[in-house]
Structure 1
Amino acid sequence: MSFEIKLSLFEGPFDLLLFFIERDELDIHDIPIFKITNDFMAYISQLEQLNIEVASEFILTAATLMRIKAKMLLPRTEKDAQGNEIDPRQELVQHLLEYKKYKNVLADLTLLEERRQMMESRGNIQAELQHIAKQSNLDYELQDLNLYKLMRVFEKVIVRFEEEQNRPKHTVYTYPYTIEDQKHFILERVNKDKIVDFTEIIEAYPEKIGLIFNFLAILEMLQLNTISIIINEGFNNFRIVPYNDNQAA
């Protein structure tokens, strides 16, 4: 059996990111992308362990964070038309600032909504309902219900059902890889063999997604000075060695 739980604490991925930023008192204009990505992925992993369905927008945001993280690990930087370096976090920061601005006025809008709901408009309710039904092309007069009106409703339901069936559907696949697991695998191989060719890593995980995870794990380990690499002749392969051994050489 499957079930779905709606978490009221975080309405969306930006709400979760803002929680991490406020909890750790981080500068929203200079987000430590490594830390916030790890916190975000850990939260999603906890949901998956509880068999809670993870919404597609959380998975999309996680992929965006991984993409930004990879860009910051790469030595090459993108530049704008004026030659200024483009921060990979810039677009994410702008979206977070916009989300935070609207979230701050949410309490005021909720209060206005509650006050408006307590008001009752004067006038002929029956005439107003008929006017609304006419504008919406709906048959509201249930007291005059007949077979023709039932057929009209049935026709509209069939049309709506066909539109739903023809709507594009997106399937999200969960792969059995994590950055931390691949870092652990690579470090064990390096500590055991001292020198590991990147082609050996490819042979161990020949899938495209496995190659991507291993490559990102190597980039992060280089950033953390856990390993070093030696470029072979040509550029089709490189060797991975322990960081201390490479320094001694």
Structure 2
Amino acid sequence: MHLPADAPEQALASLPDSMPDAVDGVARAKLYGEPLFKLPNDLYIPPDALEVFLEAFQGPLDLLLYLIRKQNFNILDIPMAQVTLQYLEYVEQIRSHNLELAAEYLLMAAMLIEIKSRMLLPVKKNENGEEAEDPRAELVRRLLEYEQMKVAAQQLDTLPQLGRDYVRAQIHIEQSMVTRWPEVSISELQAVWGDILKRAKLTAHHTITREELSVREHMTAILRRLQTTRFVEFADLFDPSRGVPVVVVNFIALLELAKETLIEITQAEAFAPIYVRLAYSPT
């Protein structure tokens, strides 16, 4: 249902001839930013400028279901004459304004007329002596299926929807592709070295010997040991039982390897154990 297309013209014709220049000092509209206090005499309103639809249907089945439910007809026993007449009245209205929209409705109208015609004919029996199927059976099946889908769609529409009922919170966190290990401070290295010296003094022997100690040999020994495992705890690279001189030379060898970037001294997090590993070299 819709209002006549010439409703705006009829409304303008009913206005008094003498229009006030302003109503309580409020402009009726704005034209190019300037207030308009009086309607122009040469104002033209197209015939189809205003159209109000009181009901909106999603297709022929929706209209047909609306007509049946509105008059409380039994959907299993549809009075085809009344429903077809009301349906054709609505189709005639939309056909005069939108022929493309009416095409789908006209197809359903033809189906209703066919069913109505078949119901006027005498009932024929099939080869088994049983009466043929009701001509309305296929239409009833489609209407029931459509009504079930429509109810399901209404139930889904009541569920919260993203963008309509709530907004998803989003936060951007920048992550570096390269893993960055916590840096080992000088104070932490000194603390670990002091603990190693204390344990070396506890196991010191009072044997006076002269031993040739080579930093390069200790560097080679450390590299060989790191090749067999991925990580070695810093304290495990020292053998306090061999005395302070060996521990000192071993520590110097460790510093030389770190200086030459052959090894890396790292830890998983602050105050965690310190580990030593071979430096990564891309192939």
| Pairwise TM-score range, normalised by the shorter structure | 0.3 to 0.5
Structure-2-length-normalised TM-score: 0.37
Structure-1-length-normalised TM-score: 0.42
| Structure number with higher helix proportion | 1
Greater Rg, structure 1 or structure 2? 2
